[in-house]
Amino acid sequence: MKNRLRDLRTAKGMTQEDLAEIIGVSRQTINAIEKEKFDPSLPTAFKMAKLFEMTIEELFQFEG
Amino acid sequence: MKNRLRDLRTAKGMTQEDLAEIIGVSRQTINAIEKEKFDPSLPTAFKMAKLFEMTIEELFQFEG
DNA sequence: AAAAAATGTAAATAAAACTTGACTTTTGTA
DNA sequence: TACAAAAGTCAAGTTTTATTTACATTTTTT
């Protein structure tokens, strides 16, 4: 699963810490998702997509 | 998290078992998601949305 | 160069998706 | 009515994995 999180976050001038607080997870969780260590839960994916005003499919690309 | 899984599945004339095999989970998992006992994982959500040719947001409605 | 801020990562925990198996109920149909 | 297929349920267990904690490294700023 790929994602565009890093680009979108930096484009908004936010740190991983900033994003973590808004979404309601730890800073390390944001980092792990950006580095594509694992996928977010569905609720977390929804929050992220809403924040960046796009669909989950636009934010995360599932290859499978 | 609400979803339209049941309607879409029956509209295609599929049983829970049919859907389970296509997605790659157990029949009870499909049933539990239809009955909104828990949310699917993000990969499972992707597979479902693709099968029914719609976005995850159209298939699942997050109230948060 | 030094301090601070931001990011990276391993290890452990916690949570939740998912399975198995058994049983009941509903629905259709012969 | 009787049978079978599909759906519902529920407990209990497994397993995956999202998430956290703690510590290390890199980058940025002064």
Q: What is the CATH number of the domain that holds A44?
A: 1.10.260.40
In-domain check, residue A46: yes
Average model confidence (pLDDT) across chain B: 95
Does A36 fall in a domain? yes
CB within 8 Å of chain A, chain B residues 3-62? 39-43, 45-47, 49, 55-57, 60, 62
Q: Report the distance separating Cα B37 and Cα B6, nearest Å.
A: 14
Position B9 scores a pLDDT of: 95
Q: Identify which of B26, B55, B8 has the alpha carbon closest to the alpha carbon of residue A60.
A: B55
Domain assignment of residue A38, given as a range = 2-54
Express as a percent the part of chain A with pLDDT over 70.
100
What CA–CA distance (Å, rounded) separates A43 from B52? 20
Q: Is the CB of A32 under 7 A from strand D?
A: yes
In this structure, chain A runs to a length of: 64
User: What does the pLDDT average to over A27-48?
Assistant: 97
**Stated pTM of the model:** 0.93
- Residue A64 banded pLDDT, cuts 50, 70, 90: confident
- B44 Cβ within 7 A of any nucleic strand D atom: no
Mean pLDDT confidence for B6-20: 95
Is A45 domain-assigned?
A: yes
Q: Is the pLDDT of residue B60 over 80?
A: yes
Q: Measuring CA to CA, which residue among A57, A59, A63 is closest to residue A23?
A: A59
Q: How many domains does chain B have?
A: 1
